[in-house]
Structure 1
Amino acid sequence: MEIIRWQDDNIVLLNGAEKRPMGKCEAQAVSTLLVIKERMGEDSQLTLLGCAVGATAAFTGFHRATVSRHGPDVLQRPEKQKTMKEMGKKERARHIASKLTMPQRAFLVKEIHNIWADKKYVRVESLWEWAKANISYKYKKTYFFWTLKGLGFVFRKLNNMTVVEERPDIAKLRVAYLKKKKDMDESNAFYGAFDETWVHDGMAPTSGWQHANTTMYKKARMVDIESAQSGPAKGKQRGKRGIVLAILTEDGVLPGSEEILVDDDDENNQKADYHGVMDSNKFKEYMSRCIPEFSRLAASKGRPGVFIIDNAPYHNATREKPPTQTSKKADIQQWLKNNGVSYEAKAKKPELMGTLKNFLTRNGGRQAFTVYEFDEWADEVEGVKILRLPPYHCYWNPIEFLWAQMKATIRGMGSVTDSLPIVRDRALDTLRKFSPSQAAALFRHTRQSEDDVRGMLEERESVEEDTSFELLYEVDEEGVMRNVHISDDDSSEYVDFSDISDFDSTQ
């Protein structure tokens, strides 16, 4: 298709978006058009010849839409700049944040981090006053609110566990875990993951359609029980409980590993953990049955089996561990000798313990020298390596996400009148139907989270001090941690602020 366009008072023929030499017939047509345009003068812009799309459609016989579709770079007009009211919330926030310079953004984010480090909470009013005094911020408070949004901050329920970040021993265990996990990833390990959770009778939705004015209906039923209800009954938060056991592999739930143990305790006497139902003996019995099955599955894949587990007390029966303050002096001396640690022959017990603690601190802590009975058995007998999660890092266990999906499914189809056997059957059915693709997605999700943190650690080690704006992170809509990057190019874009009622560029 040939497209005709005015360019610098001349007519050119384009093939798509590329110019090409004109033939005799084309040149004659162009000459005719030039004569017409020359005689019309400036009035040509007010006619068909003033619109490239319309003129091309008229001369070629193609529809205007066809002309526009095949010549976007030549014929389409640039999009109109959006006003603030026309922007979505996220787009508006990004545009507003781009009005700050990079140093202003960096200082503002650093101040927020300093507030958190002082165990305090961000108050928009006081932070806005700080910004006006320290980084020459010149806009109103509502505008400042959008600036925070554009920098990747949100106001929502707090769930930050500072113990995971601040305890040095846990930080060391996290680094060691990530290193070990990376080595296993590179060896193409076949993963399984174990954990326990609970279900109970009466698991039903906790949200649902109801009357907007629930108070009026509730008051009416206080007077007359036959009055209309305000909405459905809310699902129970606790009840007669069953402890769910399962092993999640990359192929789905390991067949035969799904099991539910009934808690005989009255719901009012139930403990927060499962120690009244699950203990080391039941754990050993369960693993003696399931680990061989997992080992055979991994072998059928031609991949080494790795089993992810947490540090619940009944998982931690030890074969060997470092001495403690209650150990005998002779046992401490023997342990130091076995590990090649020298000590004074006449050293007293407190001095020996000091030597022991210093050695453990330099070499990964007590856990690095603790030999677990389960770990050794699985490796020696079944050839399965046990990978223990660091404390408080349950979000790196893929089966935790399976539990969340299982409970959501049970509540979605449940009723407050459901007995524990009904809930039990639904839980087992959900586990057995969990597909390989769903399972693989959970393992990919946790691996991505590990890679994100591992990348942050490597980046952190490459700089001397955490003052770079490039070292700030947020979580995107899919739950993945990303660098917060705000392009300097954004600051050169035009934004119309005239329709923001409280916008004020002066103070």
Structure 2
Amino acid sequence: MSKRKVVHSEGRAIIAKVFHFLQEEYNFMKVNNSDKCDLSPLANVLKRTAEATGVSERTVTRILKEEKELPSPSSKFTSPMKKRRKRDSKFMLDNMHREVIRTTIQNFHISHKQVPTLAKLQSVLREKIGFDGCLSTLRSLLIEMGYKWKKIDNNRKSLQERHEIQLWRFNFLKKINQYRSEGRHIVYTDETYVLTSHVRQNTWCLKSKDPTKKDTSFSKKLSTGSRFIIVHAGNSSGFIKDASLVYKAASTTGDYHSNMNFDNYVKWLNEKLLPNIPEKSVIVMDNASYHNTRSSKIPTSNSCKSDMKKWLMENNIPFDERSRNIELYDLIKKNKERFVTYKIDEIIKSKGCEILRLPPYHPELNAIETQVTKSGLVVVPEPGL
């Protein structure tokens, strides 16, 4: 069956005008037909309109019906594409699923000794996390996560992490080894959530002997129940005493990080964590947005010239007073990394402690991910950014 051609608003307006023109032509001929000529070929205006415009009679009928429903004669036809519901984004994957993607790529290289092509990844991820995106969607997701295509020695292509991600991981491991050799107290922190009606995705069920019948199995509730946010910290001895924070979230949808903000996190730091750890401790945390609230605003390319000059002067960066905005911003862009500071860092350092941020999508470097409580509950938080 051929796909129906979409007639846009301008085309539908023209078809309607052709119909009315031919109708008026027929009516005029009918009234002034003094010599009684045969007007039957002109009578079927609907058919003539369809032949003249190259569409079906059904389409002409539909357009005329739509014209009658317009608010006024001067109203325009609307584009049919505007009425269509946009397809849901395939990027609504939480951080745990993203970590599964990263681990899968590593296993292709390390365990299976294979090149992780998009088709192979799509097949594995469809089974592991139910990924239903196309190859183009998967490619965009991998680029967003820091991967790129790169030629290898045999002229085939392989997925590899960007240099800055590799360097971040290298620096993290180097720094934490230094802190350990100094005998520093290392504290791992993270946030996660639990749903009150949470159940596992899989279960044991009795396999049916009759191939025509389904296996007997349980069903889970559609409602996820309430969501509770859990914030905690731990070290080599277990969870930090009196450092836990549990509260009911306002929403049960989306990434759980949206239920935490900068103010709540600072309150937890000041009241729960920092009073219960020794001085000179090293606090390991991920890169959630509320961990990276900047202390001062850095001018952007859209900032006014006076703000750019003020920032450059405050940071003792020489510039020409006659410079234009684009030149000033180029100076800011080249130097801003040296002056980026975060409010969380200042709070932690004021208490005599240090902060160490995890590389993006590396929860396996955060020891609290597999901490076990005395009750035997395994807490496996969603990986941080």
Task: Tell me which interval the TM-score lies in, with the shorter structure as reference length.
Answer: 0.5 to 0.7
CA separation of 1:389 and 1:354: change in aligned 2, threshold 3 A: same
CA contact (8 A) 1:202 1:236 kept: no
Are the equivalent residues in 2 in contact too, given 1:206–1:235 (CA < 8 A)? no
* Alpha carbons of structure 1 residues 166 and 328: separation in structure 2 relative to 1, 3 Å: farther
> Is residue 2:361 matched to residue 1:392?
yes
Deviation for aligned residue 1:336: 3.1
Matched, 1:370 2:340: yes
Cα distance change, pair 281–430 in 1 and its aligned pair in 2 (3 A): farther
| Partner deviation per Cα, 1:114-155 (whole Å, 9 max, x = no partner) | 955xx55579xxxxxxxxxxxxxxxxxxxxxxxxxxxxxxxx
TM-score (norm 2): 0.52
C-alpha distance in structure 1 between counterparts of 2:316 and 2:114, whole Å: 44
Give the aligned partner of residue 324 of structure 1. 300
Matched residue, 1:204:
199
Q: Say which SS state the counterpart of residue 326 (structure 2) adopts.
A: helix
Once residues 271 and 120 of structure 1 are traced to their aligned partners in structure 2, the CA distance between those partners, rounded to angstroms, is: 26
Amino acid at match of 2:226: K
SS at match of 2:356: strand
Question: How far apart are 1:383 and its partner, in Å?
Answer: 0.7
Report the secondary structure of 1:210's partner residue: coil
CA–CA distance in structure 2, aligned partners of residues 230 and 247 of structure 1:
42
Per-residue deviation at 1:278?
A: 1.8
- How far residue 203 of structure 1 moved from its aligned partner, in angstroms, is 2.6
User: Deviations for 1:195-219, whole angstroms, at most 9, x for unmatched residues?
Assistant: 1111112233443332112887976
Q: 2:210 and 2:340 mapped to 1: Cα distance?
A: 58
Q: CA 1:340–1:183 in 2, change beyond 3 Å: closer, same or farther?
A: farther
Distance 1:212 1:395, change over 3 A: same
Q: Specify whether residues 327 and 251 from structure 1 end up closer, same or farther in structure 2 by C-alpha distance, changes over 3 A only.
A: farther
How far apart are residue 248 of structure 1 and its match?
Answer: 1.4
**Cα distance between partner residues in 2 of 1:398 and 1:188:** 17
Larger radius of gyration: 1
Q: Provide the C-alpha distance between the structure 2 equivalents of 1:339 and 1:358, rounded to a whole number of angstroms.
A: 13
- Relative distance call for 1:330 and 1:175 in structure 2 (3 A) is farther
- Report the counterpart of residue 272 of structure 1 in structure 2: 255
Secondary structure of 2:179's partner?
helix
SS in structure 1 at match of 2:256: coil
1:235-287 C-alpha deviation (Å, 9 max, x unpaired): 7793321111111122211112222211243x5xx222332x32222112111
Name 2:271's counterpart in structure 1.
289
- Paired residues of 1:378 and 1:385 also in contact (CA < 8 A): yes
Residue 191 of structure 1, aligned match among 169, 186, 192:
186
2:273, 2:360 → 1: CA distance?
A: 23
Q: Deviations over 1:381-429 (max 9, x none)?
A: x211111223323332222233xx67xxxxxxxxxxxxxxxxxxxxx95
User: Which structure carries more relative contact order (alpha carbon 8 Å, separation 6+)?
Assistant: 1
In 1, the alpha carbon distance for the partners of 2:114 and 2:327 equals 40
- Asked if 1:255 corresponds to 2:218, the answer is no
User: Following the alignment from structure 2 to structure 1, what is the Cα–Cα distance between the partners of residues 243 and 163?
Assistant: 36
Distance in 2, Cα, partners of 1:283 & 1:120: 38
Q: Is the 8 A contact 1:190 1:250 kept in 2?
A: no
Q: Which amino acid aligns with 1:281?
A: D
Identify the residue that residue 229 of structure 2 maps to in structure 1.
Answer: 243
1:376 match: secondary structure: helix
Gaps of 5+ in 1: 1-108, 124-155, 220-228, 361-365, 407-427, 435-507
TM-score normalised over the length of structure 1: 0.41
Distance in 2, matches of 1:178 and 1:321, equals: 30
1:69-103: CA deviations, max 9, x gaps?
A: xxxxxxxxxxxxxxxxxxxxxxxxxxxxxxxxxxx
Q: Is the 8 A contact 2:197 2:225 kept in 1?
A: yes
Which segments of 5 or more consecutive residues in structure 2 lack a partner in the other structure?
1-108, 122-126, 132-140, 148-159, 380-385
Q: Distance in 2 between matches of 1:237 and 1:385?
A: 42
1:113–1:357 distance in 2 versus 1, CA, 3 Å: farther
Q: Take 2:273 and 2:299, find their aligned partners in 1: how far apart are those partners?
A: 30
Q: Which amino acid is the alignment partner of residue 294 of structure 2?
A: T
Following the alignment from structure 1 to structure 2, what is the Cα–Cα distance between the partners of residues 175 and 337? 34
Structure 2 residue aligned with 1:307: 283
Alignment of 1:422-441 (within 5 A): 429-430=375-376
Q: Percent identity?
A: 24
Please tell me whether residue 163 in structure 1 is matched to residue 146 in structure 2.
yes
Distance 1:291 1:260, change over 3 A: closer
Structure with greater proportional helix content: 1
Contact 2:233 2:239 in 1 (8 A): yes
Match of residue 356 from structure 1: 332
Alpha-carbon separation, structure 1, partners of 2:263 and 2:232: 17
Alpha-carbon distance in structure 1 between the residues aligned to 2:173 and 2:261: 29
Task: Give the Å deviation of 1:306.
Answer: 0.4
User: What SS does the aligned partner of 1:331 have?
Assistant: helix
Instruction: Give the alignment of 1:335-354 within 5 angstroms.
Output: 335-354=311-330
Q: 2:349 aligns with which of 376, 379, 385?
A: 379
Please provide the CA RMSD for this pair: 3.8
2:169 maps to 1:174: yes
Contact 1:318–1:372 at 8 Å: present in 2 too?
Answer: yes
**Residues 408-423 of structure 1: matches in 2 within 5 Å?**
none
2:16 counterpart residue number: none
Amino acid at match of 1:308: V
SS in 1 for 2:283: strand
Q: How far apart are the structure 1 equivalents of 2:245 and 2:120?
A: 46
Indicate if the aligned counterparts of 1:205 and 1:235 stay in contact, CA closer than 8 A. Answer: no
Letter in 1 for 2:195: H
Q: For residues 206 and 113 of structure 1, do their structure 2 counterparts lie closer, same or farther at Cα, with a shift above 3 Å needed?
A: closer
Does the Cα contact within 8 Å between 1:207 and 1:234 map onto a contact in 2? no
Q: By how many angstroms is 1:355 displaced? A: 2.1
Q: Distance in 2 between matches of 1:181 and 1:311?
A: 17
Asked if 2 retains the 8 angstrom alpha-carbon contact of 1:321 and 1:371, the reply is no
1:430 Cα shift? 4.7
Structure 1 residues 280 and 120: alpha-carbon distance in aligned structure 2, compared to 1, 3 A threshold: closer
